[in-house]
A and B are shown apart, each in its own frame.
Chain A
Amino acid sequence: GESVGLHLPTLSVQEGDNSIINCAYSNSASDYFIWYKQESGKGPQFIIDIRSNMDKRQGQRVTVLLNKTVKHLSLQIAATQPGDSAVYFCAENGDMRFGAGTRLTVKP
Chain B
Amino acid sequence: EAQVTQNPRYLITVTGKKLTVTCSQNMNHEYMSWYRQDPGLGLRQIYYSMNVEVTDKGDVPEGYKVSRKEKRNFPLILESPSPNQTSLYFCASSLSTGGNTEAFFGQGTRLTVV
Interface residues of A, Cβ cutoff 8 Å to B: 1, 9, 31-32, 34, 36, 41-46, 49, 51, 87, 89, 91, 93-101
Contact = CB atoms under 8 A, between A and B. Distances in A.
20 contacts: A1-B97, A32-B99, A34-B102, A42-B107, A43-B4, A43-B105, A44-B90, A44-B92, A46-B104, A49-B102, A91-B103, A93-B98, A93-B99, A94-B99, A94-B103, A96-B33, A96-B97, A97-B59, A99-B42, A101-B43
A94 B90 contact: no
Interface residues of B, number: 28
A46 to B, nearest CB: 4
A94 B33 CA distance: 12
Contacts of A1: 97-98
Scoring A42, A46, A96 by chain B CB atoms within 10 A of each residue's CB, the highest score goes to: A96
Nearest to B108: A43
Interface of B: 4, 31, 33, 35, 40-43, 45, 48, 58-59, 90, 92, 94, 96-108
A85 B92 CA distance: 22
Nearest to A100: B42
B36 to A, nearest CB: 12
A44 B33 CA distance: 13
